[in-house]
Structure 1
């Protein structure tokens, strides 16, 4: 199992979550604020991150925005005691894979781990399927899958790139170039973008 980041300003929550995750076989890195977490995101290859939404200085939503701008696509589980529809929408748009409502139990943590791992694997599977459709010339099928997963992972540069390839193969060069440029904004580099 890989490394998991736990970001919460409450020590008891960090300790409980760390214990549960270590029992599941993960290496856990703890941070008590968003600034510490940003440093960890920049240095470490993380499999998953648990981020508290309500923290002083840098909120969980702000932290999520900052890592997505840096093209860090680590799956994130948002922890909150005060779930609101607006927070849920904002964090989902930024690629949060699940919500963990406080107070939580060890059973809830296990269920969330299972659910979030499934979502990430499913997303990777569908992007691979879209690539195969592109190779087979099934452009509409590829584009439909990619646009669906773009709403789930809006900062994944590879998805923009693949949509650009679909437009390019249709002969719509202007649309293709738009998507290639956005893919570069999200840090996706590929040598054959115009060929």
Structure 2
């Protein structure tokens, strides 16, 4: 029995059901998320250094705050649509990072003397961004599911299901190998092992327990 195969198969089927256009849109969406994340970092630097203090200041602040929120949403929405949502270290880290950026930018907006806008007006987008980041962090905690997904019987899997799980296992093993958790000499042994080698072997064979 494989404990988390249900989640992996559900996500894989969702991806494979997409048309070529859908996959392209998903790829562009991820690229936009990364761009928004870079914009969030740039926004923090601009506010801390006072790099812009002219008529473009307020538009830059609002656009930067909006893109920063998009960066969080780009990770939060896929996680929220995942069945049996588990703790996502990446999502939590992004939300905390944006919260720190918003807090620093808010401090700069209130403390620094700006020629192009009043401190109170300039602080609004960063206050809203900080509140949004906190809301996502809270939602990430509240929406997590502690219940384990139903175990999948190996005998009930189709050849395509097995292939999907092998790809997931190979990706996980590569990550573990890069972190020196799995030795190079053991990689192929784990990667080639059947899922039903022995009862309770789901963890060893790449399933998560």
TM range (shorter): 0.3 to 0.5
Question: Comparing both structures, which one devotes a greater share of its residues to helix?
Answer: 2
Question: Comparing both structures, which one devotes a greater share of its residues to strand?
Answer: 1
TM-score, with structure 1 as normaliser: 0.34
Larger Rg computed on CA atoms? 2
TM-score, with structure 2 as normaliser: 0.32
